[in-house]
């Protein structure tokens, strides 16, 4: 009797034990499946945001390239070379135009709120963190805060002081032409040229930064697509 009872108890215990372990395993499997699905959705959102970031990056790069073209245009005016009069307004506006760096970070913010460890791929997780916490932050700082890159604040007023006497406006206050030559002294000419040189160099520097970040974005998009598949 005792042997039969013990066998019965052992069998019941094993059944309960297996049921409990199976329940834990099923719960863990469901949680892992939900985490994997959540990770895929967040990675998809991040990838879509990165595609938009590339478009924003290209717009800013085009703006800085136009600023460099403006430097060349104004050098010709200073050196009394022939320029296209119809381009005056365009290059007057773009010479000292600033830009701001806009990133679509909603996917990354969602990931942070869920926990960065949701991305199990260590290399991919580090690439995402590096882009948003380092590259994007530095880019925003250069475009919006770094004093040397604030072209409108640093150069517009000073450059205007060399050309305002030569600007011609219509009755509505719109610029219609620039009377040339500017008749600058050697000192004024050198100051003006030094401003153009500084703007040109700094725009080239930030263009290099944009190109580097654009390359990293493309690599990250490819990594995310491989991870999702």
Q: Domain of residue 105: give its range.
A: 2-228
Contact 67, 95 (CB under 8 A): yes
84-116 tens-digit pLDDT: 999 999 999 999 999 988 888 999 999 999 888
Residue 67 and residue 163: Cα distance in Å, rounded?
18
Q: In which residue ranges of the chain is pLDDT below 50?
A: 1-2, 26, 29-30
CA distance 157 to 96: 10
Give the predicted TM-score (pTM) of the model. 0.83
pLDDT at position 225 is 92
Report CA-CA distances (Å) from 104 to 49, 107, 112, 123, 223. 5, 8, 14, 21, 18
The residue among 217, 166, 206, 211 whose CA lies nearest residue 188 is 166
**Domains in the chain: how many in total?**
1
**Which of 211, 206, 192 lies closest to 150, judged by CA?**
206
pLDDT digits (tens, 9 = 90+) for 65-80: 999 999 999 999 999 9
CA distances from 24 to 37, 112, 143 (A): 20, 27, 52
């Amino acid at each position: 009797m005792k042997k039969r009872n013990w066998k019965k108890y052992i069998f019941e215990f094993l059944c309960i034990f297996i049921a409990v372990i199976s329940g834990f395993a099923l719960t863990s499997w469901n949680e892992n499946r939900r985490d994997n699905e959540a990770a895929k959705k967040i990675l998809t959102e991040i990838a879509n945001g990165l595609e938009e970031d590339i478009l924003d990056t290209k717009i800013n790069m085009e703006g800085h390239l136009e600023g460099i073209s403006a430097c060349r245009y104004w050098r010709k005016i200073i050196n009394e070379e022939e320029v296209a009069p119809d381009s005056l307004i365009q290059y007057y506006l773009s010479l000292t135009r600033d830009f701001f760096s806009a990133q679509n970070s909603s996917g990354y913010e969602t990931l942070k709120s869920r926990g960065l460890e949701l991305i199990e791929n260590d290399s991919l997780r580090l690439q995402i963190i590096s882009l948003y916490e380092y590259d994007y932050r530095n880019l925003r700082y250069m475009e919006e805060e770094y004093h040397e890159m604030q072209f409108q604040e640093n150069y517009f007023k000073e450059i205007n002081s060399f050309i305002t006497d030569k600007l011609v406006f219509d009755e509505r206050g719109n610029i219609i032409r620039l009377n040339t030559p500017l008749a600058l002294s050697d000192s004024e000419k050198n100051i003006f040229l030094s401003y153009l040189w500084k703007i040109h160099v700094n725009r080239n520097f930030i263009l290099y930064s944009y190109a580097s970040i654009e390359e990293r974005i493309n690599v990250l998009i490819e990594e995310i697509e491989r991870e999702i598949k």
